[in-house]
Structure 1
Amino acid sequence: MAASLPSTSAPSATSSDDLLVSHGLRRTNAARMVVDWLRAHADTRWTHAQLQEALARESNITLDRVTLYRLLDRLSEVGLLRCKVDAERVRHYQAIVDDAPAAPHFECNTCHRDLPLEGQMDKTNAELAQAAIAAIQALKTLGQQNVSVDLALRGICGDCAPAKGIRR
């Protein structure tokens, strides 16, 4: 049985069981634990290794590496997680807890940090959301399913720029 995990952000009221069933997935203890963990930490993107370590540390349950990979893939396929591949081809997973069609973020080419830009692009976010909704609807009319938008801006972050001798 999944242990109670601390929450760092407010997930939506829908239970993990409801989410799993409504997306055609089995309600296994592993699925519940991963969904609950990622929804409780929805403001963070996690690599497979980071997630496996955090789950083992805080829930005292160790998921097999392959089981976790398969589970993350299934959750991404049905639209419960965003899966983003960074510049080093590492997958990062994040729970989708709202209906935001696009979540802009900045990826540093040097340190590979992923910085969310939601609060820093307020006017642009509304325009981005409208463009994303239009693109998603157009793709859905063509028969595409589980469509999402990932807007990644790439460059060198402010912390890395001085180390590279780049002017701001």
Structure 2
Amino acid sequence: MASQFPPAPAAADPIDALLSAHGLRRTAAARKVLGLLLAHADISYTHAQLQIALADEGDAALDRVTLYRLIDRLTQVGLLLCRVDSQRVRRYQAMPPSVHAIPHFECQSCHRDSPLSGALKANAEDLERAAQTALEALQALGYQGMHMDLAVRGVCADCATGVPLAAPSATPGAAA
């Protein structure tokens, strides 16, 4: 005997759910870009690096302008963090909803961008609480749609000791 109930809907794709929850269309390009950035949430990409990484996925490449528009929309709704480094290069990274501050270190010599969350370990909770407190204080003053970017700039240990760096193409967070 056939069941009276329709089949249960398939589990919603988390990427589609995120796009819909933020009022964005669930296009193949949006799913591809957001999926790549979420899969590599600890890496910040320049526009050029992101375009190369997407092309390496094997699907049809996105043109430059489409990618710019898409990452701009994703940034506007808070799904991506956009930082401008000391060389005025924009870097994009997935913005986890539970994170209020993404600490990173940018080397003034080689321009590598390294996440600091692993290096901070026990102090990461203190940093998160401080960021949350600052954001709550600003929200009470009427500011909206905020995120915090904690950038530490200096010279990395490799550059300071003169140890040769790995090839820049091997590190997606390196400057283009």
TM-score (norm 2): 0.80
Whose radius of gyration is greater, 1 or 2?
A: 2
Q: Match of 2:75?
A: 76
The answer to whether 1:24 aligns with 2:7 is no
Q: Which has the higher contact order (CA 8 A, sep 6+)?
A: 2
Partner amino acid, structure 2, of 1:39: L
Deviation at residue 75 of structure 1 after TM alignment: 0.5
Q: What are the residue-to-residue correspondences of 1:136-151 with 2, within 5 Å?
A: 136-151=135-150
- Cα distance between partner residues in 2 of 1:76 and 1:98: 13
SS of alignment partner, residue 17 of structure 2: helix
Deviation at residue 56 of structure 1 after TM alignment: 1.1
Q: Match of 2:98?
A: 99
- Output one character per residue of 1:61-116: Cα deviation in whole Å (capped at 9) or x when no partner: 11110110011011011110111111111111111235121121111001000111
Change in 2 beyond 3 A, CA 1:151/1:78: same
Q: Say how many residue pairs are matched.
A: 152
- Cα distance between partner residues in 2 of 1:111 and 1:75: 28
The answer to whether 1:157 aligns with 2:166 is no
Which consecutive residues of structure 2, in runs of 5 or more, have no partner in the other structure?
Answer: 1-11, 163-176
- Output one character per residue of 1:120-164: Cα deviation in whole Å (capped at 9) or x when no partner: 21232222111110111122233322211111111111111134x
Partner amino acid, structure 2, of 1:116: P
- Cα distance between partner residues in 2 of 1:121 and 1:72: 29
Which consecutive residues of structure 1, in runs of 5 or more, have no partner in the other structure?
Answer: 1-12, 164-168
- Cα distance between partner residues in 1 of 2:142 and 2:16: 28
SS of alignment partner, residue 143 of structure 1: coil
The answer to whether 1:49 aligns with 2:40 is no
- Cα distance between partner residues in 2 of 1:14 and 1:131: 33
- Cα distance between partner residues in 2 of 1:30 and 1:81: 15
Higher alpha-carbon deviation: 104-113 or 57-66: 57-66
- Cα distance between partner residues in 2 of 1:122 and 1:147: 24
TM-score (norm 1): 0.84
The answer to whether 1:119 aligns with 2:115 is no
Q: What are the residue-to-residue correspondences of 1:53-68 with 2, within 5 Å?
A: 53-68=52-67
Identical pairs, percent? 56
